[in-house]
């Protein structure tokens, strides 16, 4: 066992997502020439770009070496890097926002992809869609109908749904026909799943509090309303649009529904920051507006 100082090798780096120069920090070489002529190198290498350390295995098949037209000899090699990774693939940022079961199935699918287990990867990617549907409360007898409901309920676009159906087909073929997807099919399917996870979970969490996102949920509406009520005093009585100010645009046509739900909560005694006030109107014919009083 020897350490070769100053030696370098060009190798894929999981952190840099490409080929970079690596320093060989340690190397152990074994040569065999009795039953089969070959050489095996076990290396610990460190990327010069990001200092990431990995293990590199090189099998030199000397038995299968062949000469070129220039009388040089080509020695076939098998090279593997550990931990295994997909060259050029970047891990998703913001996985902390993804529910445990969705994250676990996705990561198992990614591991199967890295190991070249195409059938398992196809099943896993299909299973990730199922897990997202379960988490979002999307029910249905078949995954076909559940994907359509994801689009109908606004979690994804119709175009996204069409792509998910392609993964459903791929997973079905893997499950029922034990048909292994091609590497290219898995690569594209993985991109679609990662886009789905980013759209449904990561971007939504990262945008809240930083961008003026659309508000359609009553609980989110109450938080926004209460933030604006701080600008008013107890006893002030105005329509919701007055309290909301510029933020009224974030309702996207849902203000009437949210107002009705708020009135139900106030009437039931579940909300005490506002009381139901008068009804007043303006214009000809008059447009009626419900007022609310700060308690």
pTM of the model: 0.66
Q: Per-residue pLDDT tens for 11-53? A: 999 888 888 999 999 999 999 988 899 999 999 999 999 999 9
Q: Which residue has the tokens 């091609």?
A: 182
Give the whole-angstrom CA distance, residue 43 versus residue 58: 8
Rg of the chain taking only CA atoms, in angstroms: 30
CB environment 160-182: b (16+ within 10 A), e (fewer): bbebbeebbebbbbbeeeeebbe
With a cut of 50, say whether residue 2 has pLDDT above it.
no
> Per residue in 162-208, pLDDT tens?
999 999 999 999 888 889 999 999 999 999 999 999 999 998 788 77
Q: What does the alpha-carbon distance between residue 167 and residue 147 come to, in Å, rounded to a whole number? A: 11
Q: 90 or 223: which carries more pLDDT confidence? A: 223
């Amino acid at each position: 066992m020897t350490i070769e100082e100053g030696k370098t090798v060009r190798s894929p780096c999981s952190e840099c997502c490409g080929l970079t120069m690596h320093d060989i920090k340690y190397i152990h070489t074994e040569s065999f020439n009795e039953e089969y002529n070959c050489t095996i190198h076990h290396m610990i290498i460190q990327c010069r770009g990001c200092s990431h350390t990995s293990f590199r295995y090189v099998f030199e098949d000397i038995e299968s070496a062949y000469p070129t037209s220039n009388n040089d000899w080509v020695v076939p090699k098998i090279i593997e890097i550990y931990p295994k990774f997909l060259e050029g693939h970047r891990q998703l940022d913001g996985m902390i926002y993804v529910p445990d079961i969705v994250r676990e199935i996705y990561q198992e699918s990614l591991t199967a992809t890295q190991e070249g287990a195409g059938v398992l990867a196809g099943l896993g990617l299909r299973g990730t869609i199922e897990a997202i549907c379960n988490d979002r409360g999307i029910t249905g007898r078949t995954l076909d109908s559940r994907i359509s409901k994801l689009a109908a309920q606004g979690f994804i676009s119709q175009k996204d749904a069409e792509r998910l159906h392609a993964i459903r087909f791929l997973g079905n073929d893997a499950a029922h026909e034990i048909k292994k997807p091609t590497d290219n099919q898995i690569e594209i399917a993985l991109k679609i799943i990662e886009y789905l996870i980013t759209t449904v979970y990561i971007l939504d969490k990262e945008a809240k509090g930083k961008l003026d996102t659309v508000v359609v949920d009553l609980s989110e509406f109450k938080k926004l309303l209460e933030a604006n009520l701080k600008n008013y005093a107890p006893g002030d009585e105005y329509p919701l649009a007055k309290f909301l100010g510029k933020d009224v645009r974030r309702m996207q046509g849902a203000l009437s529904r949210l107002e009705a739900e708020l009135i139900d909560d106030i009437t039931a005694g579940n909300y005490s920051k506002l009381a139901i006030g008068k009804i007043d109107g303006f214009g000809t014919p008059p447009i009626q507006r419900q007022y609310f009083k700060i308690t």
